[in-house]
Amino acid sequence: MAARTGLEADILIIGGGSAGCMAAIRAKELRPDAKVVIFEKGQIQRSGSLCCGMDGLNIVAVPGKDSPELYVEDSTIYAEGIEDYGPSYRMAERSYELMLKLERWGMHFPKDKDGEYTRLKVHHRGKFLVAMDAPQLKTMLADKVLKAGVTVVNRTSATGLLTKDGRVVGATGLNLRTGEFVVCKAKAVILTTGGCARFGLPNSGYLFGTYDFPGNTGDGYALAYQAGAQLTGLECTVVYPLIKDLEAPLMYIILPRGGVAVNVEGKPLGEGQVPHKLLMKEYQEGRGPVFVKMTHLSEDKIREIESILFTTERPVQKRFFEQRGIDFRKDLIELWPTEYYLCGGHGHTGLVINEKAESSLPGLYAAGDVANVPRQHLTGAFVFGEVSAEGAIDSLDKTPQPSIDESQVKEIEANTYLPLQGQGKVDLSTFEYKLRRLINDYAVPPKNSYKLSQAVEWMDKLESAWKTEVKVSDSHELGHWNEVGHILSCARLSAQASLERKESRWGLWHYRSDYPERNDAEFLKHLVVQKGEDGSTKITSKPIQGGVL
């Protein structure tokens, strides 16, 4: 076994992206003497889905303009009823104060000639997207984390949650540079690991060519499941139409500023909104591709869009479009579906949490894409980062010093380094490609009972091969190997949940050809996935908590 590093914390945050940074900052605001530790898989200055900056906060209920109640009403319609009222309301209720806080920190929110914040329409009801000019948002957050005295353990991937007497008391990690095994005891743990971006294969076939941050491999979902936490929404396999061959965001930037989505005949689709489901229907029914059109916009408006796309949202877009010879003034932008993935921020997948960001396991909180707050985006990551920190800080004086079960630590340690003990011959990237190709074959829409059953069988077979036949030569590959295990676990759980939801819902996101209709009579409810005491997957249902339309 490798060397072991021991740490102790009041609060351990797993993931140093948007939600993790905000949780750490808030914890230190409330209690400067608290010991706060972050496990970050990458380097915190440029990690997570945010990585660079952001052009807007997708959900802000500006007082006197739009209300939290209206937001939840709109969001519940989009979620087709599968949404709890409490967490979504809490997010919208705190969104405006959050925006003002970011503004005090130096983030610029443009205003119109009347001094009003620039609000854009992307929802069916209300204008909840507030424009923001913040190309260096992530580095600003990271700087505030470090200045607050938070201990950041970079290049460390979580490999297990530690539990004692039914409570989460810490976590283990793998240092991807040194190979050290890290053990951290904590009174409270906040999961902020994002979703599972590396799920299905992109059209390009490039393993890391994903729309969302490719380091998001469902770690939080898999680790929480193994610890016994409840998850939901795993049957919601999200897919969006984005820039062909680049899979970068642009519709939330272009369409609210006057651009138009059109089909192959040039007919506008979903005017006045961002019609993801409508555009995906074009592909589902064989009428793709679809396009974004800006040729009718003024030069000033096109320059405004270019400024956002080329400085904040994936600056590589400038070089991409130049090399392709695409000029927004005369050319259309061709869109194709992204890879299928699992996400709370864009979809519905995540740990079951309440409005306090508490999970079903004492001592464990969740925020951001790893939590089940449908379509929460960056606002949800920030708000629930703060909410989770507030709950964790409040619990410290009520929680005794944690003790860990050394046998549990040793078991996780042995599993973490398992491939180093064997004589595997299968290349790790080849194995991941095979796994994700099979996900595309059997675990994503159009779904049916046969395909989903095959997905479960294949994941069982692949798990055995993953443990015994894959070749790993250093700590970096070992971290990659652990990621692949998380992807595999997420695929199995998603297929099992999809088998249970015998209906179609959320457009193409959970379309079953054998049950093509939505069935509210039987399935207007959460399907909760949890590890049973015998190690098998248990799927139960949970009623919607208020706000059902």
Q: Where are the domains of the chain?
A: 241-337, 409-542
- Other Cβ atoms less than 10 A from the Cβ of 445: the count is 21
Nearest to residue 500, comparing CAs of 536, 444, 540? 540
CA distance 403 to 475: 28
Question: How does pLDDT run across 433-474, given as a tens digit for each residue?
Answer: 999 999 999 999 999 999 999 999 999 999 999 999 999 999
CA 193 to chain centre: 8
DSSP 419: G
Q: Give residue-wise pLDDT tens across range 101-139.
A: 999 999 999 999 999 999 999 888 899 999 999 999 999
- Alpha helices by DSSP H, listed for 272-330, are 276-284, 299-311, 316-324
Distance CA 327, CA 457 (A): 47
> Which whole-number Å values give the CA distances from 95 to 4, 19, 136, 232, 503, in the listed order?
41, 14, 20, 24, 34
User: What single DSSP character describes residue 400?
Assistant: P
Class for the domain spanning 409-542: mainly alpha
Nearest to 260 by CA among 275, 247, 241: 275
**Per-residue pLDDT band at 524 (split at 50, 70, 90):** very high
Alpha-carbon distance of 153 to 306, in angstroms, equals 36
CB-based contact 127:95 (threshold 8 Å): no
171-198 CB burial, b ≥16 within 10 A, e <16: bbbbbbeebebbbbbbbbbbbbbbbbbb
* pLDDT higher than 70, residue 548: no
- Over residues 4-13, the mean pLDDT reads 96
- Residue 360's Cβ-side half-sphere holds a number of Cα atoms within 13 Å equal to 17
CATH fold, domain 241-337, is Flavocytochrome C3; Chain A, domain 1 (3.90.700)
Q: Measured between alpha carbons, how far is 12 from 25 in angstroms, rounded to an integer?
A: 13
Residue of 120, 83, 351 whose CA lies nearest to 227: 351
Find the mean pLDDT for residues 225-254. 93
In one-letter notation, the amino acid at residue 13 is I
Which residues, in sequence order, are CB contacts of 287 under 8 Å at separation 6+?
263, 264
Check: CB of residue 219 under 8 Å from CB of residue 173. Answer: no
pLDDT higher than threshold 50 for residue 477: yes
Nearest to 157 by CA among 218, 236, 242: 218
Instruction: Provide the pLDDT for residue 549.
Output: 32
Q: Report, as an integer, the average pLDDT of 298-319.
A: 92
Q: Is the whole-model pTM more than 0.85? A: yes
Q: What is the pLDDT of residues 303-313, one digit of tens each?
A: 999 999 998 87
Q: Which two tokens stand for residue 255?
A: 């369409």
DSSP secondary structure, 400-441, as one string: PPP---HHHHHHHHHHHTGGGGS---B-HHHHHHHHHHHHHH
